[in-house]
Structure 1
Amino acid sequence: MSTRVFLQCLVMAMALTAIVVEEAYGIPICNIDTNDLGQCRAAVTGNQPPPPTGECCGVIKRSDLSCLCKYKSYLPAVGIDPSKATTLLSKCGISNAPPACYA
């Protein structure tokens, strides 16, 4: 194995390790840990998603909705339909969502 190939493999391994470590710890955003958002993934993906779980609703209720709704336009990039994400609010009994959630 050449030195160049070895260094490329080493860099790739370091990058993957950094991604895994970051995923394990999550990133705090809008008063919640990004790993906690996984609780809602099933309820916002697919053609006929199931209702949100109690854990999912708990995550949404703990979040800063004014902050979280600002990220709505980025959802398609991670495979989430924004309209399905918006329906979580009513399905979780949240009636005071900011206008940014419905825009």
Structure 2
Amino acid sequence: MEEKPRTVAFALAIVLVVATTMEMSLASGAQGFCNMTRDELMACKPSISTAKPVEKPADACCTALSHADLPCLCAYKNSGMLPYLGIDPNLAMQLPAKCSVPAPAQC
């Protein structure tokens, strides 16, 4: 069962990459990717970054992850671009467990 949280975290990292590399015209509070705003996505980035990652995810990150559309995040799970974009896949895989967020059954 360890694989499901890792898949969701990996997918979350992909969404972070998309959010940071695309110009998004999101108003504050508007939903962007997988029921998460750009600000919510960015709240998770420090915990999965290859450059001086923080050990404990921000409360805002965990709150956002708890209401995110996790099956949507799972759709991004097979991308291999994370290391090239400054995202540590191992750290990304740990994010759901660190936030105590269960993974969806179909991920």
Question: How would you bin the TM-score normalised by the shorter chain?
Answer: 0.5 to 0.7
User: Deviations along 1:47-97, whole A, 9 cap, x unmatched?
Assistant: 652210111101111101111122232651532123311211000011334
Aligned residues: 80
Structure 2 letter corresponding to 1:84: L
Alignment of 1:5-24 (within 5 A): 19=23, 22=24
User: Deviations along 1:18-56, whole A, 9 cap, x unmatched?
Assistant: x4xx35537622111233200011000126522101111
Task: Write the distance in 2 (CA, Å) between the matches of 1:87 and 1:99.
Answer: 19
Structure-2-length-normalised TM-score: 0.58
Aligned to 2:4: none
Structure-1-length-normalised TM-score: 0.60
1:64 aligns with 2:64: no
Off by >6 Å, runs of 4+ in structure 1: none
Aligned to 2:95: 88
Pick closer, same or farther for the CA change 1:28–1:74 going to 2, 3 Å: farther
Aligned to 1:55: 60
Say which structure is richer in helix.
Answer: 1
RMSD: 2.6
Which structure has the larger Rg over C-alpha atoms? 1
Unaligned runs of 5+ in 1: 1-18
Where 2:75 maps in the other structure, the secondary structure is helix
